[in-house]
Amino acid sequence: MTGAPLTKVDSAVEQPDAAKKHRRSSSSATNVHNINDLEKEGVEIKISPETQQLNWKVNTSPGTIDDKEALKKPLCNPMVKKIDLHFPLGLGVTARNLKGVTIKDALDAIHKQFKKKQDDELELPYLAGFEWDKDESYTRFVVHLKKDGAPVSKKSKKKGAAEE
């Protein structure tokens, strides 16, 4: 017997190309990042502007939103696996999706907190949008709420300027 390395599969021989693989490679999508890795790399995050036009009431199901296509869009770019959503009063929820957090994932996480609340219990019932302040906390978005669901009309501003 020679000292040549074995070529057949043998449990006693370590296979160089059989590197330890992560078992669930299919559940992780490409171009989806961990927010902590993005922070280390100093990557700028852009929140989808569609979140500001949803006119969504936080105690109603995200399925009630008219713009179904907006729900499928990523919440931010680059896409992340999870993001903490922080409310000004201190409440925090986490939206998760291994294929990239979508606007619907974020709304689902928020809805879970508010679905049992009655309309009169909510001072600011409508989603105004999200804010990312990398200086305050890189790994979370601040959730902004507003009193009215109707979009702010730009005509009223023009009207006021015309009266001067």
CA distances from 36 to 81, 82, 91, 142 (A): 10, 10, 21, 17
pLDDT of residue 29: 73
pTM over 0.85: no
CA distances from 55 to 58, 107, 150 (A): 9, 12, 7
Residues of the chain with pLDDT under 50: 18, 152-164
pLDDT of residue 163: 44
- Residues of 15-48 as b/e, b for ≥16 C-beta within 10 angstroms? eeeeeeeeeeeeeeeeebbebeebeeeeeebebb
pLDDT of residue 3: 64
* Cβ(54)–Cβ(110) below 8 Å: no
Domain ranges of the chain: 28-150
Per-chain mean pLDDT for the chain: 82
pLDDT, tens digit (0-9, with 9 covering 90-100), for 56-104 = 999 999 999 988 999 999 999 999 999 999 998 889 999 999 999 999 9
pLDDT of residue 28: 59
